[in-house]
Amino acid sequence: MKELVIYFGKQQDGFVGFNTADTIRCDIEDEALAVHGLTHEKWVSVKLKNGTKYINTDNILWFDIVDKEEKGGQK
């Protein structure tokens, strides 16, 4: 499984050397579809555990797609 991390705010140094930024994290199944939506659409919907967010993609500074470890230590 992969995780999409969308960054909105300026990255700043936080407590004890951790960097902080305004982010949304969500699981994705189709990496190509996620990238296409974020780069070609003005508004996209992102399903989260507690509902759906609608995002104006003009406000995204950058995004990462990272491998997420499954429970049990498997990827």
- Per-10-residue mean pLDDT of the chain, 75 residues long, equals 86 64 86 92 89 91 86 52
pLDDT for residue 65: 94
Put simply, whether the predicted model's pTM sits higher than 0.75 gets the answer no
pLDDT for residue 75: 46
CA distance 53 to 46: 5
pLDDT for residue 24: 87
Q: Which amino acid is at 31?
A: E
CA distance 59 to 70: 30
CA distance 69 to 1: 7
Q: Going along 1-75, which residue ranges are E strands?
A: 2-7, 12-13, 19-20, 23-28, 43-48, 51-56, 62-67
CA distance 72 to 61: 33
